């Protein structure tokens, strides 16, 4: 007698057909929604010899368009059309082979309330983004510090490369702190499972796209955090990685076929040189090495020209936004991806969620280089549809030389001025994300020689220049660290663990200077939130003179004047020079000290000082 059992989506759920055990190891995506703008869906089924089955389904409003089989008989791909008339429910995927039959339930859910209008709201220049590495911020749930069965069982805060135990609950516990600081959006380093044997603290080597890493709390903790943030009016940015996986990803260890990852006769690393992608004189070999070489030996390079893998990645991106209510999408190692694939992926996300903000990591050298990878005004054959980038140009060739180099015709603060003067190449530079440092860079306070006055100049610039400001966790309490190696810039936030001797989440746990730093960020960031000139206004900058850089943020409602003296001595400025922007005002108020200024004559600007002034009529 044949035995018929229903397969479920749970990992390693079994069906008995005669005396043979059949294992279903995964359904991807795990579920979907009715009412999506794109009615097409491709489901990947993974299980031992699953391709030996005949597969059918019957559900009102859902059509099985095609069944695709690949070289590896452990996979099968189902192309579905979920019509607008389909209702939420459980459809049954039926399997039949000579030994019997079985079914796999697949859930179609109703979409989130608002269908993209009350989530996926995007990140704008009105936001203040705070970047957190979850393992290194705060341990809110010690029960998940180690998860049995996962490869990396490290837990040692005395090392820089092993896990420390921070998690999503720890972040949620400190949302009040972040809101007091003026933060409106969080960007977390990747939250997706990284079941690698080591170096799992950073999260960039995925091993299962459809699981939030259980060591930071798993799916439930992520849902809880995002829900709490949305109730507070805060936004969540997810860190996306399309270019590579971890070497332990099941799609690499058990490939559907040999074309899913870029393979070389021997290990071949990318050159990290972006120029061949747009160089009119580039060799084909150099282009291939840049795009198809592996980032590091532990991260296999994805072949995004494989249509099945491309669909897998695009659908996962859409699934994540809908499942968790994500508002922004930061794309890792953008230049190393297949750029035609990225255009396709960006379009799919923006078609479904028009307000979602996408920005890519473009660690390249030169404004022209960077502009190639985002929406630009060039008349060239390849046109990127990426709305924005992490602006490495204002970082590497702007604020850092402004504070570290002596003043010169092209040196010092003139580099910041010159870099911003090239904004004409971008479609909308207000969408770019500016930063002083991040998880890969030397911490800003260390970069400028632990000079507190220069630190204030950098923070003041970040929060008043054009674009979206991004702040790295702990900078508000002057955390230090040099990125050689990178673990030194990823230390735990003091107070994030019960055993910490100081709790710098509280004013009582901070030193006087740390409180000065925290309060400076808090004051400027919270002013910024209420400043239409900064969050949506125009930028006018003046050519730097004698170490001093002056610029204005303005609209019809408000004008903010910013004066940066980058010298080690007092400087004079003549207010007549700025009459174009100041003539309709009589005075100015320092937004930090509340001191007032008369808009006439000469000003003496103290050494290493930034003035952020709201003009008064």
Question: Residue 611, Cβ neighbours under 10 Å: how many?
Answer: 21
* Tokens matching residue 98: 């000579």
A 10 A CB-CB count for 45 gives 24
User: What φ, ψ does residue 360 adopt, rounded to 5°?
Assistant: -110, 150
Q: What is the DSSP letter of 261?
A: B
Decide: 448 and 455 in contact? Cβ < 8 Å.
yes
79 tagged catalytic: no
CA distance 350 to 268: 34
Radius of gyration of the chain (CA): 26
The per-residue DSSP string of 20-74 comes to EEEEEEEEESS-EESS-SS-EEEEEEEETTGGGSEEEE-BTTEEEEEEEE-SSTT
- The counts of H helices and E strands in the chain are 16, 28
Residue 264 is classified by DSSP as: -
Q: Which residue among the candidates 213, 239, 327, 332 is catalytic per the annotation?
A: 332
Query: Whole-angstrom Cα distance, residue 48 to residue 74?
Result: 5
Q: Is the dihedral of CA 585, 591, 594, 598 positive or negative?
A: negative
User: 361, 423, 447, 476: which is the annotated catalytic residue?
Assistant: 361
Q: How many CB atoms lie within 10 A of CB 90?
A: 11
Q: What is the chain's length?
A: 617
CA distances from 21 to 8, 34, 97 (A): 14, 33, 14
H/E stretch holding 598:
strand 596-598
Pairwise CA distance, residues 161 & 152, whole Å: 11
Secondary structure of residue 337 in the 3-state scheme: coil
440 is catalytic: no
In this structure, the strands spanning 468-472 and 433-435 are parallel
Q: Max Cα separation, the chain?
A: 100
Catalytic residue set: 332, 361
């Amino acid at each position: 007698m044949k035995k018929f059992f229903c397969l479920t989506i749970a990992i390693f759920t079994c069906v008995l057909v005669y005396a043979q055990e059949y294992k279903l190891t995964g359904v991807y995506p795990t579920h979907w929604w009715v009412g999506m703008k794109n009615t097409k869906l491709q489901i990947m089924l993974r299980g031992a010899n699953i391709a030996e089955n005949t597969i059918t389904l019957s559900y009102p409003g859902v059509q099985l368009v095609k069944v695709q089989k690949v070289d590896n008989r452990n996979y099968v791909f189902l192309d579905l059309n979920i019509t607008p008339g389909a209702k939420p429910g459980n459809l049954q995927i039926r399997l039949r082979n000579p030994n019997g039959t079985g079914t796999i339930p697949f859930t179609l859910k109703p979409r989130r309330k608002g269908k993209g209008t009350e989530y996926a709201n995007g990140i704008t220049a009105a936001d203040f983004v705070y970047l957190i590495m979850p393992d290194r911020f705060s341990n809110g749930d010690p029960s998940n510090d180690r998860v049995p069965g996962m490869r990396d069982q490290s837990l040692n805060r005395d090392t820089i490369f092993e896990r420390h135990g921070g998690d999503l609950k720890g972040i949620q516990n400190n949302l009040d702190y972040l809101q007091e600081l003026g933060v409106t959006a969080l960007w977390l380093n990747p939250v997706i499972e990284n079941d690698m044997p080591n170096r799992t603290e950073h999260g960039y080597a995925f091993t299962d796209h459809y699981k939030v890493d259980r060591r930071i709390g798993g799916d439930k903790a992520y849902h809880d955090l995002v829900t709490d943030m949305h109730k507070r009016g805060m936004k969540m940015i997810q860190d996306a990685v399309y270019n590579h996986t971890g070497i332990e990803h099941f799609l690499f260890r058990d490939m559907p076929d040999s074309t899913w990852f870029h393979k070389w006769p021997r290990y071949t690393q990318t050159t990290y040189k972006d120029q061949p992608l747009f160089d009119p004189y580039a060799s084909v070999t150099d282009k291939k090495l840049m795009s198809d070489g592996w980032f590091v030996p532990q991260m296999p390079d994805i072949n995004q020209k494989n249509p099945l893998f491309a669909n897998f990645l695009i659908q996962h991106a859409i699934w994540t936004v809908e499942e968790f209510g994500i508002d922004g999408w930061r794309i890792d190692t953008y230049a190393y991806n297949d750029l035609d694939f990225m255009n396709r992926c960006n379009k799919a996300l923006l078609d479904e969620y028009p307000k979602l903000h996408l920005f890519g990591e473009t660690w390249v050298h030169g404004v022209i280089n960077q502009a190639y990878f985002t929406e630009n005004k060039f008349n060239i054959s390849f046109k990127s549809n990426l709305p924005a980038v992490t602006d490495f140009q204002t970082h590497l060739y702007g604020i850092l030389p402004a504070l570290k180099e002596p003043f010169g015709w092209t040196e010092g603060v003139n580099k910041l001025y010159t870099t911003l003067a090239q904004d004409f190449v971008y479609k909308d530079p207000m969408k770019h994300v500016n930063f002083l440092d991040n998880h890969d860079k030397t911490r800003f306070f260390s970069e400028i020689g632990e000079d507190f006055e220069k630190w204030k100049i950098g923070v003041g610039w970040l929060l008043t220049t054009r674009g979206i400001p991004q702040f790295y966790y702990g900078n508000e309490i002057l955390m230090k660290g040099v990125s050689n190696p990178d673990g030194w810039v990823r230390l735990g936030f003091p107070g994030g663990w019960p055993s910490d001797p100081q709790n710098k989440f509280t004013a009582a746990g901070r030193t006087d200077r740390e409180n000065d730093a925290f309060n400076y960020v808090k004051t400027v960031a919270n002013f910024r939130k209420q400043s239409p000139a900064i969050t949506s206004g125009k930028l006018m900058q003046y050519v730097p003179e004698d170490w001093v850089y002056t610029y204005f943020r303005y609209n019809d409602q408000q004008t903010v004047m910013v004066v940066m003296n980058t010298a080690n001595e007092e400087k004079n400025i003549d207010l007549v020079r700025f009459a174009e922007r100041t003539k309709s005002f009589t005075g100015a108020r320092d937004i930090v000290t509340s001191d007032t200024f008369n808009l006439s004559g000469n000003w003496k600007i103290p050494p290493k000082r930034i003035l952020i002034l709201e003009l008064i009529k």
